[in-house]
């Protein structure tokens, strides 16, 4: 009997080739070492293996984002390094810095675009869960409020450009339309501001009763209306103009003046008062 009959080739990754013998004579022909190799469980890789990376904790001290910020200040860090601090850690396949780079790539490496991403959109990225997504969204909201804080300190708004500086940081990168009202004294000193409604991509529902109830509660004599256009267009729609006239007419009943209605987007602002629409 030919003991080599029925030989079948079997190749392992890496170019090692050994032969498996069919039939009962196989075990007697295999040496002890080869038998151990054949009995071992072989896990072949599925697809491309992840590239090697260096965890943040193994970086030189001067290159670790937290330590770098402490030593050199936040301006010395890249956007990805600042995001890495917020993310706190990476995954088994990538460091926190690389994960920060992926987040930026998802926003076209543009921080205003990053500010438009919500929790669900961020969670589509591998390695981003609820905690990381919420942290990023909260940080971007704080950045908006910081920018808007400059105008709140000014206290007095007398023209559309001032109002645009107040609202643009809050609204210019919102992915949906929102309607705000600025409540003013007779001398245009800022009393308060409120988001009256927020809605879809191209419209939102505004209830004039909510606007004037708050105006009466705060003692406002003047109102300045503002909403954003997520599309980037600054042209008012017929509905925008009609709503403005409706609110302006209602204000006359309470002796409350609507001084302007501005539209903001990343492109700038549009003032209905300055353009002679109202």
C-alpha 2/C-alpha 23 separation (Å) is 11
Computed from CA positions of residues 99, 50, 108, 59, in that sequence, does the dihedral angle turn out positive or negative?
A: positive
- Residues 173, 217, single domain; the answer is yes
- Please give the pLDDT value at position 202: 65
- 18 or 89, which is more confident: 89
**277 in a structural domain:** no
CATH number at residue 240: 3.40.140.10
Instruction: At 133, list the tokens.
Output: 């997504």
- Please give the pLDDT value at position 35: 53
- Residues 182, 256, single domain; the answer is yes
**171 in a structural domain:** yes
- Residues 128, 174, single domain; the answer is no
C-alpha 75/C-alpha 172 separation (Å) is 24
Tell me which of 124, 145, 166 is where a domain ends.
145
**174 in a structural domain:** yes
- Please give the pLDDT value at position 48: 45
pLDDT above 50 (res 10):
no
- Residues 21, 86, single domain; the answer is no
pLDDT above 60 (res 7):
no
Most confident of the ranges 29-43, 54-68, 156-170: 54-68
The model's pLDDT over 151-161, given as tens digits with 9 standing for 90+, comes to 566 578 888 88
- Residues 235, 210, single domain; the answer is yes
Tell me which of 111, 145, 179 is where a domain ends.
145
**39 in a structural domain:** yes
Mean pLDDT of 35-49: 47
**17 in a structural domain:** yes
Exposure string of 187-223, with b = 16+ CB inside 10 Å and e = fewer, is ebebbebeebbbeeeeebebeeeebbebbeeeebbbb
Q: What is the DSSP string of 91-127?
A: -SSS-HHHHHHHHHHHTTT-HHHHTT--HHHHTTSTT
- Residues 121, 16, single domain; the answer is no
Indicate the SS3 state at residue 183: strand
**3 in a structural domain:** yes
Tell me which of 91, 126, 145 is where a domain ends.
145
- Please give the pLDDT value at position 45: 45
> What total number of domains does the chain contain?
3
- Please give the pLDDT value at position 20: 41
The model's pLDDT over 69-123, given as tens digits with 9 standing for 90+, comes to 999 999 999 999 999 999 999 998 999 999 999 999 999 999 888 988 999 999 9
Q: Which residue segment(s) compose the domain that 204 sits in? A: 155-271
C-alpha 211/C-alpha 170 separation (Å) is 19
Mean pLDDT of 242-258: 96
**51 in a structural domain:** no
Smallest Cα–Cα separation from 221: which of 186, 252, 254, 170?
186
- Please give the pLDDT value at position 151: 56
């Amino acid at each position: 009997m030919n003991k080599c009959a029925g030989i079948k080739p079997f190749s392992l990754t890496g170019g090692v080739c050994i032969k498996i013998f069919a039939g009962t004579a196989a075990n007697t022909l295999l040496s002890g070492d080869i038998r151990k190799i054949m009995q071992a469980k072989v896990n072949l890789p599925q697809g491309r293996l992840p590239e090697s990376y260096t965890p943040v904790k193994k970086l030189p001290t001067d290159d670790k984002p937290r330590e770098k910020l402490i030593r050199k200040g936040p301006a010395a860090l890249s956007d990805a390094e600042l995001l890495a601090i917020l993310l706190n850690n990476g995954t088994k396949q990538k460091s926190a810095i690389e994960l920060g780079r992926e987040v930026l790539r998802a926003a076209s490496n543009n921080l205003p675009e990053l500010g438009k991403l919500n929790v669900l959109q961020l969670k589509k990225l591998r390695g981003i869960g609820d905690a990381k997504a919420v942290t990023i969204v909260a940080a971007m909201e704080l950045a908006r409020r910081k920018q808007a804080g400059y105008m709140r300190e000014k206290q007095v708004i007398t023209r559309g450009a001032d109002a645009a500086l107040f609202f643009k940081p809050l609204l210019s990168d919102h992915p949906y339309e929102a309607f705000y009202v600025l409540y003013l004294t007779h001398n245009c000193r800022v009393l308060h501001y409120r988001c009256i409604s927020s809605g879809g991509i191209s419209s939102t529902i505004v209830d004039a009763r909510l606007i004037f109830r708050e105006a009466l509660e705060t003692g406002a004599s003047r109102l300045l209306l503002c909403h954003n256009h997520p599309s980037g267009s600054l042209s008012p729609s017929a509905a925008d103009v009609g709503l403005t006239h409706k609110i302006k007419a209602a204000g006359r009943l309470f002796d409350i003046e609507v001084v302007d209605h501005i539209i903001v987007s990343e492109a700038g602002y549009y003032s209905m008062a300055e353009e002679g629409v109202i």
